[in-house]
Structure 1
Amino acid sequence: MAFQDYSLIQAPMAGGLSTADVVAGASRAGALGSVGAGYLSGDAIMAAAEGVRAAGGDAFAINLFIPAERDATDAEWRAALKALSPCYRQSGVPVPDDFPPLPDFREQFEAMLEARPAVFSWTFGRLPKSMMAACRARGIALVGTATHRDEALALAGDGVDGIVLQGEEAGGHRGGADPQGEGQPLDALLSACRDIATPLIAAGGLMDGADVARVMAAGAATGQLGTAFLRCPEAGTAEGWRQALADAGPDATA
């Protein structure tokens, strides 16, 4: 797949943000729309893909989370809840007793294969070779996420079709394999990886055409934008979040 043929990529945003209408709208406009399916069951992934196609979306991506190598310990969960508690209180939302587990990854992956998107993208790790082969057999292009050069080199060695280089300016989670690793500003990350032959997709703090032009001049095939889509009428963004983004103006990704 020639990622440079796309004007930009609408980032996969899980949790109901990247609705079928957002993904299809991006596709109809010449971008690559992406379904953020990390929290979806297999049946919900099939329904999402059907919704995108019903809304006029042609080529689009489905994104999933690579499972962690181990489950978090009770102490780690308690530490996470403690760290997040001020955010919940500030928002007037009750602090949960725990976090529900993610859907079964194998079920999600099999549903993605059946849905047969143009692109399968993922975050938080590397895809097993057997799963890569299953995608190849169905003509599905493969895109992994890297937050530093070593991760990008590993993905290139795996033979992916594109690498999302996620700078630390990204408005969402850090998508690399090592959650404890240090992030890099996008421009520095691009500079460190521009000699990698695999097409590079720049992500992190990009909000308009000038930003995309800048990263393409620095070696990216195209740019991936997430926050920029959150105020679209079609997005599943809560009203309070929409207002906060409007108030933030150019600093929205912060």
Structure 2
Amino acid sequence: MLNNEITETLHIEYPIIQAPMAGGVTTSELVAAVSNYGGLGTIGAGYMSPTQMRKQIKEVRQLTSNYFGINVFVPNEFNASESEIKSANHLLQPIREQLNVHEKDQFERPKSKRMFEIFNEQIKVVMEENVPICSFTFGVPSKEVIAALKQQNIILMGTATTVREAVEIEKIGMDIVVVQGSEAGGHRGHFMNSFQESLIGLMSLIPQVVDSVSIPVVAAGGIMDGRGLMASICLGAKGVQMGTAFLTCIESGAHHVHKEAILHSKEDETALTRVFSGKWARGIKNKFIVEMQEHETSFPDFPIQNTLTQAIRKASTSQNNHDFMSLWSGQSTRLAKNQTVEMLMKNMMAEATKIKKDI
């Protein structure tokens, strides 16, 4: 039932991929549970050091003998003037005081060169640990990186928000493209088109990408159940990637305040914002998003803004205060459930089977 190129390539029973949510959501228990119950679990390693990556890969291997994947962020050149950083700090200071956060006297500014070095170290770990699947967000790596991974028969997946980006992912030699619709939660994966141009709804994006590339297409954005899976397949996708649906699962490492915010939100309560990280992302509206909205275009780019707000997000989380947390979520919040991975997978496939029978 629903066996195709994706299930064969990824060695999975069902064409369902758990989205690689960086920042602690993708615990070893979550990743392993998805792989154990027929899908593809994915480690969100975007913010991890190579040592942390290696540790989690080993943990996942203790919990599952099935295929799983890992996701890394493709670094980009970035810069910010001292005045931009000073201005951002000035705007953030009252919130730090409110949360009783004491910033270091010296701001440790992320450097482009170091980000590229970390990325290369991460790739080295993926190869040394022979992780079967590696996916990329925020761009495509160099041809040299692709060739090195391919030499070890590692399956490669790229993230696209437009047809143009999907074509580039195929051209560089990746095996699968994940198309991210505007409904998706978390950071936008655009890397060629501007933010505005990349906001294409998933149902429009899938068939246009399917008609333009020959590699399998995976649909992402607002998919929570068997209906979303079957709709995507009808439009030509070979599988789906789901984030928010897995984020509220028991095994997820998301903070309980984050999970509760999603479980009690409506479809019109998410917003696209760059106030937390300097990169556009979809999350549930809260005090921080609303208060900082008028300044969001003046904030420095990712990862500098992400570093500037780090202590605020951390303090807000430890104080169970949802006002200043990045509550990433897709638009289908009403469909979110507090359940185990096993229940989510079983219910999805039962629903998909019924739909297939009824068509």
Provide the TM-score with structure 2 as the length reference.
Answer: 0.64
Residue 201 of structure 2: aligned partner: 185
Say yes or no: does 1:7 pair with 2:15.
yes
Contact 1:38 1:63 survives alignment (8 Å):
yes
User: C-alpha distance in 1, partners of 2:181/2:90?
Assistant: 27
Which of residues 44, 49, 67 is equivalent to 1:59? 67
Say yes or no: does 1:160 pair with 2:174.
yes
User: C-alpha distance in 2, partners of 1:242/1:34?
Assistant: 19
Residue 79 of structure 2: aligned partner: 71
User: C-alpha distance in 2, partners of 1:80/1:198?
Assistant: 42
Unaligned runs of 5+ in 1: none
From the superposition, tell whether residues 52 and 179 of structure 1 become closer, same or farther in structure 2 (CA, over 3 Å): farther
- The residue matched to 2:248 in structure 1 has which SS? coil
| Cα root mean square deviation, aligned | 2.7
- Can you list the C-alpha shifts for 1:110-160, whole angstroms capped at 9, x where unaligned? 111112111110111111111111111111001111111111111111121
- The residue matched to 1:212 in structure 2 has which SS? helix
User: C-alpha distance in 1, partners of 2:89/2:26?
Assistant: 26
Contact 1:148 1:184 survives alignment (8 Å):
yes
1:212 deviates by 1.0
Say yes or no: does 1:42 pair with 2:42.
no
- Can you list the C-alpha shifts for 1:26-74, whole angstroms capped at 9, x where unaligned? 0011101100001111111111110111012521111000011233444
Map 1:74-85; keep pairs closer than 5 Å. Answer: 74-75=82-83, 77=85, 85=92
- The residue matched to 1:240 in structure 2 has which SS? helix
User: C-alpha distance in 1, partners of 2:261/2:228?
Assistant: 22
Contact 2:162 2:193 survives alignment (8 Å):
no
1:99 deviates by 7.5
Residue 171 of structure 1: aligned partner: 185
- The residue matched to 1:220 in structure 2 has which SS? coil
Residue 107 of structure 1: aligned partner: 121
Larger Rg: 2
User: C-alpha distance in 2, partners of 1:132/1:19?
Assistant: 27
Say yes or no: does 1:120 pair with 2:128.
no
Which of residues 208, 223, 227 is equivalent to 2:240? 223
Contact 1:23 1:57 survives alignment (8 Å):
no
Contact 2:25 2:252 survives alignment (8 Å):
yes
Contact 1:171 1:204 survives alignment (8 Å):
yes
Residue 203 of structure 1: aligned partner: 220
- The residue matched to 1:168 in structure 2 has which SS? coil
Q: Match of 2:57, as an amino acid?
A: A
Contact 2:67 2:132 survives alignment (8 Å):
yes
Residue 155 of structure 2: aligned partner: 141
User: C-alpha distance in 2, partners of 1:95/1:213?
Assistant: 50
Single out whichever of 64-73 and 150-159 deviates more from structure 2.
Answer: 64-73
User: C-alpha distance in 2, partners of 1:191/1:7?
Assistant: 18
User: C-alpha distance in 2, partners of 1:219/1:194?
Assistant: 6
Q: Match of 1:201, as an amino acid?
A: V
Contact 2:178 2:219 survives alignment (8 Å):
yes
User: C-alpha distance in 1, partners of 2:87/2:201?
Assistant: 27
Contact 2:15 2:238 survives alignment (8 Å):
no
Contact 1:124 1:178 survives alignment (8 Å):
no
**Count of matched residue pairs:** 251
1:2 deviates by 3.1
From the superposition, tell whether residues 106 and 71 of structure 1 become closer, same or farther in structure 2 (CA, over 3 Å): farther
Unaligned runs of 5+ in 2: 9-13, 269-328, 332-359
User: C-alpha distance in 2, partners of 1:30/1:49?
Assistant: 19
Contact 1:24 1:55 survives alignment (8 Å):
yes
Contact 1:145 1:163 survives alignment (8 Å):
yes
